[in-house]
Structure 1
Amino acid sequence: MSRLGAYLRLMRPANIITAIADIMMGFAASGMLLSRPFWEINLTGETLEPLGWLVLSTIGLYGGGVVFNDVFDAELDRVERPERPIPSGKATVGGATAVGALLLAGGVLAAWQVSLLSAALALAVALLALLYDWKGKHHNLLGPVNMGSCRGGNLLLGMSAVPAAVEELWFIALIPILYIAAITMISRGEVHGGNIAALRGAVLMYALVLGGIISLSLLPQFTFRYSLPFLLLFAFFIFPPLLRAMPTKEPKLIIKAVKAGILALIVMNASMAAGFAGWQYGLLVLLLLPVSTYIARKFAVT
């Protein structure tokens, strides 16, 4: 692993693709693509520019957040994960801190190009990520909620392309908050094995996420029949790995369940995006999955 490769690994590039899916989902919910199929929209700079800036923003925010996760965990990783870039010596704490800070600052500045609200949301996501890296992940209850809030804020960031949409549809952010909280609960068993109560709780939370997406059909701008195929695929992604891990609680199976849950974020976003902007747009979001899966073969997602 080269030095550049080590810093890229710290950023978890496969996971960054899932963050882009959050932005695309929020962009669809904002109404930017609501009136017509997305390929019929006049794709001027006025339409595409805010999406581009918000995608750049989430790359910086997510990349910076996970880099700081390894910075704060450097000493622990020397014992539990010596193969990670910092304990292996391929990256330094100082270098990782500088890279993480630049990424977070770049994420906020990119969002500022869209609106002041976008910048405020980006700053909130950055601060929530740092809070999780520093203290949040050590709390059994607040940690999962803290991590989930980062994803919820990221979805709102995509929605901020139309600021009024954030005020109207803010509650949609509760879905990724709940989902990421579930994954965070599962991930705590990666090293020493899972807690059966936590794994059962994650199953319940997954079910509530599915129910939350189905409930979006109550919105006049959401078409459930477009969402349904993606939603079934989402369920297929998340439940089997978790159910296989529950009887044994083995770390290897827990890692597989976490990896499946992270990659399935794209499918979850596709299911909601399809309901707001048509199955074609949902398919476009879903196409991020093979990209993320391919990158995940080269770089760890946990």
Structure 2
Amino acid sequence: MRTTRLFAYLQLTRPANVVTAIADIWAGFAISGTWFYLLEGGQGGNILLTKLAWLSLSTIGLYAGGVAFNDVFDAELDAIERPERPIPSGRVSKSRAAWMSFTLLLIGVLAAAQVNLISAGIASVVALLAVLYDYWGKHQNLIGPINMGLCRSGNLLLGVSVTPELLSTFWPLGLIPLIFVAAITMISRGEVHGKNRNALYGGLLMYVIVIAVIGSIPFLHNTNSWEVLPFIALLCYMIFPPLIRAIRSQNPKLIGKSVKAAVISLIIVNASLASAFAGWQIGLFVLLLLPISLWLAKKFAVT
């Protein structure tokens, strides 16, 4: 009985998705250049490793709390459209789910505060944006995708905030996850009923923009362009075939598969960014999160 209840609570947090959020932090570290010092070891490396652990814990709390609150606010709708979910099925009470969500968000902010006050501020903004999206933003055609994308942008910048002075230089990189996640959010609106071809084409265009921007980073950052190409190729392989099938069929199930592939592919987006700034070895290290997320996706729902 306890195992069943624990599984229900874990379902609320979307564990496979949480792993993609950890990849945001690791990519942020690559952008800030701190992976090099971390790998050198010594006292400085140990300090950075501790900060990496705190920020990874922070994003776990923020993401898990945010998606759990989504089910809290959607409990009545899910009772009609997705009655198998933990709250409408009665396996988790709405009040307990709300308390768990709040606690996770609080943990996210407090963990970030162990790094620096700027990290705590970014984590607080991400938490507020997540709740805003769950309660209001997801019902807005234009603002909703942007709202969700801003959550992911803040998450990437949370990783960069390990070196706060670099935020003024690299904050535009937050547009990459914003556009990618906004595309996923647009596409996902046909997951239940289908018939959203315009949104699917819009998502396709936004994916292409993201890939083009990531591919241009090595030229702007004076790094080896070939190092990012395998990651971009893998990203294309993951997101385009299921999306094209969804566009052709307008089948809600295929749209759902496209969304699932894109959510998990956020790890590949982050691996691509890491390789562009810190080399293919760091990109490959971030990519190691992908099989973990794929395994969890078989156990828990992604959307």
Q: TM-score, normalised by structure 1?
A: 0.96
Unaligned segments of structure 1, at least 5 residues: none
Which residue matches 1:270? 271
Identity rate of aligned residues, in percent? 57
Residue number in structure 1 paired with 2:212: 211
Deviations 1:21-62 (A, max 9, x none): 000000110111257xx7445473212011110000000000
Cα displacement (A) at 1:76: 0.2
Return the alpha-carbon distance in structure 2 between the equivalents of residues 201 and 139 of structure 1: 16
Say if 1:31 and 1:165, in contact at 8 Å, map to a contact too.
no
CA deviation string 1:155-203 (max 9, x = no partner): 0000001001111100000000000000001101111014111001111
- Aligned counterpart in structure 2 of residue 28 of structure 1, from 3, 27, 30: 30
Once residues 90 and 190 of structure 1 are traced to their aligned partners in structure 2, the CA distance between those partners, rounded to angstroms, is 24
Distance in 1 (alpha carbons) for counterparts of 2:281 and 2:41: 13
Structure 1 letter corresponding to 2:9:
Y
Structure 1 counterpart of 2:153: 152
Which shifted more, 276-285 or 55-64? 276-285
Matched residue, 1:130? 131
How many angstroms apart in 2 are the aligned matches of 1:41 and 1:211? 35
**Residues 110-166 of structure 1: CA deviation (Å, up to 9, x unaligned):** 000001000000000000000000000001110000000000000000000100111
CA distance, structure 1, for counterparts of residue 111 and residue 275 of structure 2: 26
Quick one: distance in 2 between partners of 1:32 and 1:106? Answer: 24
Q: CA deviation at 1:218?
A: 3.6
Name the aligned partner's letter for residue 279 of structure 2: G
Deviation for aligned residue 1:214: 1.6
Map of 2:57 onto structure 1: 56
Aligned match of 2:241: 240
Q: What is residue 69 of structure 2 aligned with on the other side?
A: 68
Change beyond 3 A, Cα 1:20–1:194: farther
Structure 1 residues 44, 166: closer, same or farther in 2, change over 3 A? same
Q: Distance in 2 between matches of 1:51 and 1:169?
A: 18
Q: Secondary structure at the match of 2:283?
A: helix
Query: Amino acid of the residue matched to residue 169 of structure 1?
Result: F
Cα distance in structure 1, aligned partners of 2:200 and 2:133: 21
Report the AA paired with residue 119 of structure 1.
Answer: A
In the other structure, the counterpart of 2:105 is 104
Amino acid at match of 1:69: N
2:166 alignment partner in structure 1: 165
Which amino acid in 2 is paired with 1:223?
Answer: N
**Matched residues, number:** 300
Distance 1:147 1:218 in 2: 29
**TM-score, normalization by structure 2:** 0.96
Instruction: Compare 129-138 and 194-203 and name the one that shifted more.
Output: 194-203
Given candidates 17, 20, 26, the residue that maps to 2:19 is 17
Give secondary structure in 2 for the equivalent of 1:85. Answer: coil
| Most deviating of 41-50 and 153-162 | 41-50
2:176 partner letter? I
Q: CA deviation at 1:215?
A: 2.3
**Distance of 1:289 and 1:298 partners within structure 2:** 15
**1:217, distance to aligned residue in structure 2 (A):** 2.1
Q: Contact (CA 8 Å) 1:148, 1:179: kept in 2 or not? A: yes
Write out aligned runs for 1:36-51 (5 A).
Answer: 39-40=39-40, 42=42, 44-51=45-52
* CA–CA separation in structure 1 for the residues paired with 2:190 and 2:245: 14
Per-residue CA deviation, residues 51-98 of structure 1 (Å, 9 max, x unaligned), is 110000000000000000000000000000000000000001100000
> What is the rounded CA distance, in whole Å, between the counterparts of 1:135 and 1:74 in structure 2?
14
CA distance in 2, matches of 1:198, 1:44: 45
Q: How far apart in 2 are the matches of 1:230 and 1:262?
A: 16
Whole-Å separation in 2 of the counterparts to 1:198 and 1:34: 41
- Please state how far the C-alpha of 1:221 moved relative to its aligned partner: 5.5
Equivalent residue, structure 1, for 2:144: 143
Indicate conservation of the 8 Å contact 1:147/1:184, yes or no. yes
SS of equivalent residue, structure 2 residue 34: coil
